[in-house]
Amino acid sequence: MQIAALVFPEIDQMDLTGPFEVLSRLPGARFKLVWKDLAPVRDANGLILTPGTLLPHAPEAPDVLLVPGGRGQLALMDDVPILEWVRSRAAKARYILSVCTGALTLGAAGLLRGRRATTHWNSFQLLSQFGATPEDSRVVIDGNLISTAGVSAGIDGALRLAALLAGEDAAMRIQLEMQYAPQPPFSAGTPGQAPAPIREAAEAAVAPLTEARLEAARRATSRSWSS
């Protein structure tokens, strides 16, 4: 059970660690953090994460290709060697799991054309730029492509994926082991649920980043991939 997860500077750490908590508990799991070099990187809020595998050494046909998001995902949308690596692994992966704005990386790699997909609510309107069919669900499964909404949604997506990979009993056991019976203290986890002033403040704080992502999406879709 080979899991290859892209890690990069200014990742949102839970996009990676949420699915790690689930998928690393699968029988025989080998979970690799993959990047250009093996120096530690910091997530968007400073947590140190350490890659263990260089891009060319990652499994060529992983059971899972995990593509997380976060602020640092923007740079990947113009990083053609990274996008080519994502394309090469996605082509042979059994499943692809994007979390949060990781979906935009898949989009920039040309992998969302004609596929149903979701992403963080604040970037949801960008999905159509990539030829995807946006679907406003927490987890969207289209063939072997599983995309999730923002950050914490990677836990739900990974549990769905665990059931596909190892059966529902195995997934339920993982859910029990991590005591995942969540009780959010507020009804504020989606833009529809949160009070309007809170939603507007959250939108305003990332508006420049969202605009930069839109521009990166436009550049990305002007590229043509050879295969």
Among 71, 89, 160, 213, binds a second copy (CB under 8 A): 160
State both tokens at 14.
């839970």
Shorter beta-carbon distance to a second copy: residue 77 or 100 = 100
Asked if 224 interacts with a second copy (CB under 8 A), we say no
Among 83, 127, 153, 216, binds a second copy (CB under 8 A): 153
Which has the closest alpha carbon to 40: 7, 18, 65, 89?
A: 7
Q: Residue 145 in 3-state DSSP?
A: strand
Asked if 182 interacts with a second copy (CB under 8 A), we say yes
Bridge pairing between strands 48-49 and 145-148: unpaired
Among 76, 140, 166, 171, binds a second copy (CB under 8 A): 171
Asked if 6 interacts with a second copy (CB under 8 A), we say no
66-88 burial, b at 16+ Cβ within 10 Å, e below that, comes to bbbbbbbbbebbebeebbebbbb
Q: How many CB atoms neighbour CB 108 within 10 A?
A: 28
Q: Give contact residues for a second copy (rule: CB under 8 A).
A: 12-14, 17-18, 20-21, 24-25, 29, 31, 33, 40, 45-50, 52, 100, 120-121, 138-139, 149-153, 155-156, 159-160, 163, 168-169, 171-173, 175-186, 188-191, 193-195, 197-199, 201-202
